[in-house]
Amino acid sequence: MSDKKKAPEKKRFSIGALFYNNKFVAVFSLLSALVLWFSMAFTNTEEFPVPIYDVPVTIKIPEAAQADGLKCFSPQTLKVTVYIKGNSLSVHNVTADDIGLETQITETVSGAKTYLATIASSKKGYVTDYEIDRIEPSIVQLTLDYSEEKSFVIGTGGVSASAAEGHFVGSVAATPESVTISGPKSVVDSISAVTVGEKDLGELDQTARFTADLILLDANGNTLSKDKYDQLSLSAHSADITVPVLVRRTVPFTANFTNAPSGLKLDSSFVTLSPSTVELAGTAEDFESYKSIQLDPIDFSQISPSTNVFDIPVSLPSSFRNLQQINQVTVRLNLSGYTTKTITARNFKVNNLGHEYEASVTTSSLDIVVVGPEEELANLTESNLVVQVDMSQNNGFTGHTEMPATVSISGSSKRWAYGSYKVNLSVKER
């Protein structure tokens, strides 16, 4: 019978055996001591202060400083950690709301600067059976200054764009146009400009819009630091930026006339304009509505062979941009072959007078200067002229008065009366 090998016996784990291991005992002792210490620190609040976090501090400055107009601008809010000790039940019922804290400046306040202040404490809650051990931090810095307020135009010089062909990039606009900034005088006075950041929009063929944060710059062009910025109050922290893009187009001027003879052909052979066109920028809808720019009318009663050139101011719709800055157009009339002839008129007519009134012209005659082609003036006589008075704006008037008059000329469609005329007449009820 062959001998069988016996399997090795497994060693049994024994907790008791660990305590015969020096390394285990050392580690176990250290851990036990730490647990015991933490347990005592938590439960023994008479010896080990308990922290109360984020206790708010009332920032208080002397009344004399307040009367002088000083305010604390930094910090604007303050929270600290307060360590308390005492009866365990009391200590663990104390919250941040149960502790009153306020600053006390430790030196004489003499103007705007930074002062050191201690923090005084008091008990506010119903639990009072505890002691305030310490406050961290116990000393703080308070920056006092006078209030100041200023308004700044928001600069947009950093925004750039180029116009696509046939377009025009207008002035960049910010909404709001300005910002009001208030805060400590020393900080507000250090601001030299308010702007938006640099942004290149590239080539544009339509209006671009975006929102940009405001940047406060000092006298050296540097951005105001965050700690100073946080002391300020701004009416706006950002601006809506508009970069208008308009259509660019050349538009002709058109001359206009009043009281022109019906037989005159007012074409380019008779009327010349200088300049005859203007380059404008506007919306596509604007150009659809305005195929040309109409000039203020010239009254033919002001035109004669010696007075045939007129400078007419340019008046554009407000939606257009005058890219060439053309402010007036010279209108010249070709009166070659035209002359003048003076005729005495004695034929008067009163128009638009109410039926209950009657009028008589007391002016016996008027010398009328007539302009026209030489051949048409040769046979002009008194019988061709009628001096007319329009009473439509004076209905109800009675008595003697002087009224403006117009002159109608029969027998030709290319003649007109030059100058202004008035007649005397008498009006009475029938």
Tell whether the model's pLDDT for residue 245 goes beyond 90: yes
Q: And the tokens for 410?
A: 């029969």
The answer to whether 202 and 231 are in contact (CB under 8 A) is: no
pLDDT digits 0-9 by tens, 104-125: 998 999 999 999 999 999 999 8
The more confidently predicted of residues 39 and 314 is 314
End-to-end CA distance of the chain: 171
pLDDT tens, position by position, 312-348? 999 999 999 999 999 999 999 999 999 999 999 999 9
d(CA 317, CA 298): 20
Higher pLDDT, 36 or 368: 368
**pLDDT the model gives residue 1:** 46
Distance CA 377, CA 191 (A): 77
The whole-number pLDDT of residue 393 equals 86
- Could you identify the residue written with the tokens 């910002």? 179
pLDDT exceeding 70 applies to what percent of the chain? Answer: 91
Higher pLDDT, 383 or 354: 383
- Looking at the chain, the whole-number percentage of residues with pLDDT higher than 90 is 80
Q: What is the mean pLDDT of residues 124-131?
A: 89
Domains parsed from the chain with CATH numbers: 50-137 (2.170.120), 147-243 (2.170.120.40), 247-333 (2.170.120.40), 338-429 (2.170.120.30)
- 277-282 and 298-299 beta bridge pairing: unpaired
Contacts 24+ apart (CB under 8 A), 203-207: 203/161, 203/162, 203/163, 203/164, 204/161, 204/162, 204/163, 204/164, 204/167, 204/169, 204/243, 204/245, 205/163, 205/164, 205/167, 205/245, 206/245, 207/242, 207/243, 207/244, 207/245
204 with 243: CB under 8 angstroms? yes
Task: Answer yes or no: is pLDDT of 208 > 90.
Answer: yes
- C-alpha dist (Å) from residue 55 to 22, 77, 124, 360: 48, 11, 12, 101
